[in-house]
Amino acid sequence: MNRPGVDTAFAGNIPQFYERYLVPLIFAPYAVDLASRAAGFQPSRVLEIAAGTGVVTRQLASLLPTDASITATDLNQPMLDQAAAIGTSRPVEWRQADAMQLPFADQAFDVVVCQFGAMFFPDKAHAFREARRVLRPGGRFIFNVWDRIEENEFAALVTRSLEAIFPADPPRFLARTPHGYHDPAVVAQDLAHGGFPHPPDVVALSARSRADSARIPALAYCQGTPLRGEIEARDASRLSEATDVAAAAISSRFGAGPVDGKIQAWVFSIEH
């Protein structure tokens, strides 16, 4: 079940933790892949949905020619503020926007890109319909979603570790939302319901999630995602304890030094 009030709350100092810890830990390698796929279609006008703190945007800005326009949007203005503060190698348009109701004209873009945002859409088919609406005929919608949590080792360990602190009601954000939309057949069905007439190209893409210590992924997930809100809703005084428990679980599995875990996602590309 989606919980919009919790699952989409990237506010407070979450954007800073997200950028500092989570982006290099899990988002950076997929940003390179997604931006490269988008650039391969030589678009003149690109829209990014759910841009977050701009890791894909920065890749797009470095890969696309300067005469190609990039519009980067996110539901959460604090995330865009963080992205704009970091900046890009050339100008882009930052704009707050809801993927469920995009403020753009029909057929306004050649490519629509979305990195790990589709899982948060309350009505996936509706959001996909909006992406198709703003695409020109023959344009491309390129996006990725995380595979099931069991294929993403740090996220799975963090989730299991928090059961010890909150046994009656363990926080399930990571399993429920980031890793809750992992069946390619379901995604393809939602794309069809969103009006895309052809089946998507789909590929499973594995990568490695590396950090100098177990505490970094613990901080990334416990304090750089809406999992923080779930923990604090149960007992705000136990956020540091929850982070410590998650770090201990990762260290127990991967050692006290640098850690290296598997991550896996599905990448979709579909023509208007």
Give the pair of three-digit tokens for residue 227.
Answer: 């999992």
The amino acid that residue 162 corresponds to is: L
Angle (CA) 138-101-81 rounded to 5° is: 100
**CA 72-74-75 angle, 5° bins:** 155
pLDDT score recorded for residue 270:
98
**pLDDT (mean) for 138-153:** 98
Identify the weakest region by mean pLDDT among 4-13, 235-244, 249-258.
4-13
Structural domains for the chain: 4-271 (3.40.50.150)
Say if residue 215's pLDDT is above 80: yes
Angle at 95 between CA 97 and CA 182, to 5 degrees: 50
pTM score, two decimals? Answer: 0.93
How far apart are alpha carbons 96 and 76 in whole angstroms?
7
Q: Using 50, 70 and 90 to split pLDDT, how confident is the model at 16?
A: confident
pLDDT average, residue stretch 233-257: 96
Query: What's the pLDDT at 119?
Result: 97
Query: Is the pLDDT higher at 123 or at 19?
Result: 123
